[in-house]
Chain A
Amino acid sequence: MASLVVAEHDNIELKRATLHAVTAASQFEGEVHILVAGADSAAVAAAAAQVAGVTKVLHADDPAYGHGLAENLAPLIVGLAEGYDHLLACATTFGKNTMPRVAALLDVAQISEISAIVSADTFVRPTYAGNAMATVKSNDARKVITVRATAFDAAAEEGGSAAVEAIDGPGDQGLSRFERHELSVSERPELTSADIVVSGGRGMQSGENFSLVEAVADRLGAAVGASRAAVDAGYVPNDYQVGQTGKVVAPNLYVAVGISGAIQHLAGMKDSKVIVAINKDEEAPIFQIADYGLVADLFKALPELAEELDKQNISKN
């Protein structure tokens, strides 16, 4: 039978997270279909139809689906479930919010944030902040799954030519209403898909001082992240948080500045290819997992780093 991937989007663009879930879905037998539920979202359905390996796009266009409200999406997905063995979404805040609601309505367990697929019913998932990798087998007829993006490559955005089928759903359930967004706007790459991430911690001491992190990030074309302590202190917005209960990233290069390396932070970045730590405390646990450690005062090291990148012509600005 087939797999259904629930697309994540803003009615305009298909989010990259969806592409990671498609790759996971393609490891199962059978076709991969994408559900695009949105409002005035034809462009997203068209983009989904292009994704390599996808054979059908189900497109439900209704104002009720415009803001990804779980109360409205879940009955729509449940109505489609009979045709699928596996129902997947990426383990983003969207997927985490929606898929358990689907699972409960189907009376099945959800397998959260899988990092590997062993077989059609057996999966590996990190638990305890990634300190224990559990291999789990689901005994339910239908598997509802969220996928850890960093563990599955993104499917190619082009190469597919799926048919788009318009479908109707149960519409607005009248339980919840979208009021407003306060989205972070940034010229920088998105944290979870960036090639390089530079993160600051409590050691930054203030929001203003994050300009030192940004100066380095911008030279590298990098995204900016943060520890929980930096977010809690109000230096940067919540969506910067990397870690067990924030975002999971695995860039080619992760630079941790003024971050001690608590297990909850490591849970979100320890699969990065190369890790650099800049910390004035040589005993900081972050050095135990860093490929390159620099024991230094960040207020001296960050400006020097920006300067050195310019000197070596590495700067992208």
Chain B
Amino acid sequence: MKVLVGIKRTIDANVKVRVKADESGVETANVKMTINPFCEIAVEEAVRMKEAGIAEEVVVVTAGPEEARQTLMTALAIGADRAVHVVAEQDIQPLAVAKVLKAVIEQESPGLVILGKQAIDDDSNQTGQMLAALLGWPQATFASKITLGEGEAEVTREIDGGLETLTVKLPAVVTTDLRLNEPRYASLPNIMKAKKKPIDAKTVEEWGVDAAPRIEVLNVKSPGKREAGVIVENVAELVDKLQNEAKVL
């Protein structure tokens, strides 16, 4: 079985994001970019399937600018076999990403597709669900455990009330939650090896996908800043303040 993984390049989770002065977006110049953490978990899961002999090949796909090639290299260093780079200079929104991934999937025919549950830049949490809809495939979102069986997969999902386990027919789209696995650090030899792995780069137009944005961003503002309060000396003072000053007890 072939496993296909969709990955996105995002601002590193440790960066303190700043809104641009003209409110057109966030500052990305000279800001550290990495593979979206949920995508890293998705790649790790696929590579483990290959190591366990369940998957034959792991293909990673990203839609994004030239620089997104770096993100593909990260995935190849974790252990993916080859990459597809759908080059898109404009802002590419989840519905368009889902359409791009669908086009690639129709060519690649994977038995399983793994995406992250959420890209930590736009916090959209939609692409996997949209892709499953467009393909007419089942979806298992927010996965913390995937067990592959004959023609189906059992997936445990992190939901608001606890955990839920579903069986989905294959092929299916699964999106990862934080507890699915702990991604490895790529070793130096694997980073070197990644450089030799094939990356197939073509533009969105060449894939024949309409990637026009459906949502216009009118402006981006900083949230209201919360001021630091006071340091209390002890528990008694804390309780007194909560009772008599904040009046929340």
Chain B residue nearest to A130 (CB atoms) is: B223
- Would you call the interface of chain B mostly helix, strand, loop, or mixed? mixed
Tell me how many residue pairs across A and B have CB atoms closer than 8 Å. Answer: 266
Contact indicator A295/B231 (Cβ below 8 Å): yes
**Is B29 engaged at the interface, CB distance under 8 Å to the other chain?**
no
Contact indicator A176/B95 (Cβ below 8 Å): no
- From 199 to 214 in chain B, residues with beta carbon under 8 angstroms from any chain A beta carbon are 214
Of the stretches A54-62, A154-162, A202-210, A230-238, the one at the interface is A230-238
> Which residues does chain B contribute within 8 Å of A98, judged by CB atoms?
129
> Which residues does chain B contribute within 8 Å of A247, judged by CB atoms?
160
Contact indicator B126/A112 (Cβ below 8 Å): yes
**Is A27 engaged at the interface, CB distance under 8 Å to the other chain?**
no
> Which residues does chain B contribute within 8 Å of A305, judged by CB atoms?
235, 238-239
- From 234 to 249 in chain A, residues with beta carbon under 8 angstroms from any chain B beta carbon are 237-239, 244-245, 247
> Which residues does chain B contribute within 8 Å of A276, judged by CB atoms?
238, 242
Q: Which of A100, A135, A174 touches B218 (beta carbons < 8 Å)?
A: A135
Q: Which of B17, B130, B234 touches A103 (beta carbons < 8 Å)?
A: B130
Contact indicator A184/B241 (Cβ below 8 Å): no
Known contacts A292-B238, A312-B239; A126/B223 CB under 8 A: yes
> Which residues does chain A contribute within 8 Å of B38, judged by CB atoms?
245
Chain A residue nearest to B226 (CB atoms) is: A289
Contact indicator B126/A103 (Cβ below 8 Å): yes
Known contacts A128-B17, A134-B217; A312/B243 CB under 8 A: yes
- From 64 to 100 in chain A, residues with beta carbon under 8 angstroms from any chain B beta carbon are 69-71, 74, 92-94, 96-100
Q: How far is the CA of A111 from the CA of B179 in the complex (A)?
A: 26
| Chain A proximity of B173: nearest CB distance (Å) | 10
Chain A: number of interface residues, binned into ranges: 35 or more
> Which residues does chain A contribute within 8 Å of B106, judged by CB atoms?
none
Of the stretches A33-41, A42-50, A136-144, the one at the interface is A136-144
**Is B248 engaged at the interface, CB distance under 8 Å to the other chain?**
yes
Known contacts A312-B239, A314-B249; A292/B230 CB under 8 A: yes
- From 192 to 233 in chain A, residues with beta carbon under 8 angstroms from any chain B beta carbon are 192, 196, 220, 228, 231-232
Of the stretches B52-60, B65-73, B76-84, B117-125, the one at the interface is B117-125
Using a CB–CB distance below 8 Å, which chain A residues touch chain B?
69-71, 74, 92-94, 96-105, 107-113, 122, 126-140, 174-184, 192, 196, 220, 228, 231-232, 237-239, 244-245, 247, 252-253, 263-264, 270, 273-276, 282, 287-296, 301, 304-305, 308-309, 312, 314
Q: List 15 A-B contacts (CB under 8 A).
A: A94-B160, A97-B141, A101-B139, A104-B134, A126-B123, A129-B17, A131-B19, A132-B17, A137-B215, A175-B138, A181-B163, A274-B242, A290-B228, A293-B230, A312-B239
| Further pairs besides A110-B95, A176-B166, A304-B234: 19, Cβ < 8 Å | A69-B166, A70-B129, A132-B17, A132-B220, A135-B219, A136-B217, A138-B214, A138-B216, A178-B165, A180-B165, A182-B164, A184-B161, A220-B249, A270-B226, A274-B248, A291-B229, A293-B232, A294-B232, A305-B238
